[in-house]
Chain A
Amino acid sequence: MFYNNPFSGLTELVSPLAVQGFTILMVGLVAFGTLMDIIHKKNVKYFFNNAKKAKQNAKVVLSTGQRTSVILKTVAHDIATTAELGRGKRRVAHVLGMYGTIIFWITSALLIFSFPTAGSTTPSAITIMWHVGAIITCVGGYWFWLFLRVDVLAEAHPWYRIIKADLFVLALLACATFGLAWSYTQFSGMIELSYLFLVLYITSNLVLFGGVYWSKFAHMFYKPGAAIQKNLAEADGSRDNLPPLADAPKQFGLGIKREQPKHY
């Protein structure tokens, strides 16, 4: 299955242009949804107002060089390794889901735009990574969905309880799962099933990319911005009005914080 390029199979039914057009539409939906969110909620306006207010509390003025350095460090560390989640399972699951999705999307784009009809001549590296990306997404995502979600872990809700906040992660998992199922059934010659999973795959993508206005999708743009602002505030001393770190050695170990937040 790992060498299968499912989009090649698809382009036997519809033209590659249609598939590519659909992909561009998905990207457009993300941009549109995010823009609508920003306009309606005025969140970017709030964000920059807040940053301006915080700057008034700055103890030092950062040079452009210093700002750039902080931003780069934030991207390389906070964003690339999801540092805000601290040490633990949630971070691992998020990193898996994040890179899995990135690999899945990039390889999808490559297959759709560079090798839509290549069939068995598609470079195996790309097809393998397409499947691996989907699998890693599923590992991280299902782990999160079944065990790590805070409403399941800390509030004891059952794993099958679905709330609006689940729209993004469920749609993402659906894409990855149905994509894999589609590729597998297509490769194994189960034609009717492969059509079923194709339809589900397309629908999941529509829900995922079309639902940006209602889901947490856009947070993947907001959170990096927030991380950058936080680190800039730390660097210029304003620190969101928080006191500075205490000047004392770490010698007492962990107390309340040694356990996970599940005491019931």
Chain B
Amino acid sequence: MSTFVYMTRCDGCGHCVDICPSDIMHIDETIRRAVNIEPNFCWECYSCVKACPNHAIDVRGYADFAPMGHSVRVRREEEKGTISWKIKFRNGNEKNFVSPITTKPWGKFIPKLAEEASPNQGEINSQRLYTEPNGLNIDGDLPTISKDTFKKGVYY
């Protein structure tokens, strides 16, 4: 597959270089624009496609098995919390999808644990994790099992 970059749209901002989990988006030395240097290590994860501010990156399905003439393009809009997809088949059929990507402002409801209350004395010796047992929304404490029931090496 893999990703490729449109000459007319890329302005060499580096967001794709910065985000690629495979480290395969790099800057071409002749034109100082992005290029996929290792398409056979591209997972089609679309991280670079979504990150590009100019929509300069697109995907062409893997040459091993994807016939030409298709298009799967995306628009990730962080501030709106949406992701929009447009799929075009080789035969021209089209499908469109829009999904939410967050329900809350980014990071706002993620706690900074350094500023939260410390665990109680001795809590570290318990089996409870942060927010528990309340965070499990169950009655009572964390489930456990009595060791009397353990069966060694035989099957049930």
The answer on direct contact between A and B (beta carbons under 8 Å) is: yes
Quick check: B32 and A216 within 8 Å, CB to CB?
yes
Q: Shortest distance in angstroms between A150's beta carbon and chain B's nearest beta carbon? A: 4
Given contacts A90-B13, A248-B81, contact A242 B30 (CB under 8 A): no
Q: Tell me whether B53 is interfacial, beta carbon within 8 Å.
A: yes
Q: Which residues of A contact B (CB under 8 A)?
A: 47, 84-86, 90, 149-151, 153-155, 163-166, 216, 222-223, 226, 229-230, 240-246, 248-258, 261-263
Q: List residues of chain A with CB within 8 A of the CB of B8.
A: 47, 222-223, 226, 229-230
Q: List residues of chain B with CB within 8 A of the CB of A222.
A: 8
Q: List residues of chain B with CB within 8 A of the CB of A253.
A: 78-79, 105-108
Q: List residues of chain B with CB within 8 A of the CB of A47.
A: 8
Q: Tell me whether B90 is interfacial, beta carbon within 8 Å.
A: no
Q: Tell me whether B86 is interfacial, beta carbon within 8 Å.
A: yes
Quick check: A255 and B17 within 8 Å, CB to CB?
no
Q: List 17 contacting pairs A-B, 8 Å CB cutoff, sorted by A.
A: A151-B32, A164-B30, A222-B8, A223-B8, A229-B8, A241-B71, A242-B55, A242-B74, A243-B84, A243-B86, A251-B81, A254-B106, A258-B106, A261-B17, A261-B18, A261-B19, A263-B18
Taken together as a complex, chains A and B put the C-alpha atoms of A241 and B105 apart, in Å, by: 29
Q: Tell me whether B61 is interfacial, beta carbon within 8 Å.
A: no
Quick check: B78 and A256 within 8 Å, CB to CB?
yes
Q: Shortest distance in angstroms between B94's beta carbon and chain A's nearest beta carbon? A: 9
Taken together as a complex, chains A and B put the C-alpha atoms of A222 and B9 apart, in Å, by: 11
Q: Which residues of B contact A (CB under 8 A)?
A: 8-9, 11-15, 17-19, 26-32, 51, 53-55, 71, 73-75, 77-82, 84-86, 88, 96, 98, 102, 104-108
Quick check: B17 and A242 within 8 Å, CB to CB?
no
Taken together as a complex, chains A and B put the C-alpha atoms of A244 and B86 apart, in Å, by: 9
Taken together as a complex, chains A and B put the C-alpha atoms of A34 and B13 apart, in Å, by: 25
Taken together as a complex, chains A and B put the C-alpha atoms of A244 and B96 apart, in Å, by: 10
Q: List residues of chain B with CB within 8 A of the CB of A155.
A: 14, 17, 26-27
Taking a contact as CB atoms closer than 8 A, the residue among B13, B30, B55, B82 that contacts A150 in the complex is B13
Quick check: A243 and B75 within 8 Å, CB to CB?
yes
Q: List residues of chain A with CB within 8 A of the CB of B85.
A: 243
Quick check: A252 and B102 within 8 Å, CB to CB?
yes
| Nearest neighbor of A214 in chain B, beta-carbon distance | B30
Taken together as a complex, chains A and B put the C-alpha atoms of A83 and B125 apart, in Å, by: 58
Quick check: B32 and A243 within 8 Å, CB to CB?
no
Q: List residues of chain A with CB within 8 A of the CB of B54.
A: 84
| Nearest neighbor of B51 in chain A, beta-carbon distance | A256
Q: Shortest distance in angstroms between B22's beta carbon and chain A's nearest beta carbon? A: 15
Q: Shortest distance in angstroms between A184's beta carbon and chain B's nearest beta carbon? A: 31
Q: Shortest distance in angstroms between A113's beta carbon and chain B's nearest beta carbon? A: 34
Given contacts A165-B32, A243-B74, A256-B19, contact A151 B27 (CB under 8 A): yes
Given contacts A240-B55, A243-B86, A261-B18, contact A85 B11 (CB under 8 A): yes
Quick check: A255 and B9 within 8 Å, CB to CB?
no
Taken together as a complex, chains A and B put the C-alpha atoms of A241 and B57 apart, in Å, by: 12
Q: List residues of chain A with CB within 8 A of the CB of B71.
A: 241
Taking a contact as CB atoms closer than 8 A, the residue among A85, A150, A248 that contacts B17 in the complex is A150
Given contacts A154-B14, A255-B107, A256-B51, contact A246 B27 (CB under 8 A): no
Q: Shortest distance in angstroms between B60's beta carbon and chain A's nearest beta carbon? A: 12
Q: List residues of chain B with CB within 8 A of the CB of A258.
A: 106
Taking a contact as CB atoms closer than 8 A, the residue among B11, B31, B51, B77 that contacts A165 in the complex is B31
Taking a contact as CB atoms closer than 8 A, the residue among B17, B26, B28, B78 that contacts A254 in the complex is B78
Q: List residues of chain A with CB within 8 A of the CB of B53.
A: 86, 257
Beyond the given A84-B54, A163-B32, A165-B29, please list 14 additional residue pairs across the A-B interface where CB-CB is below 8 A.
A86-B13, A151-B32, A154-B17, A155-B26, A165-B31, A222-B8, A243-B84, A243-B86, A245-B77, A246-B77, A250-B79, A252-B104, A254-B78, A257-B51
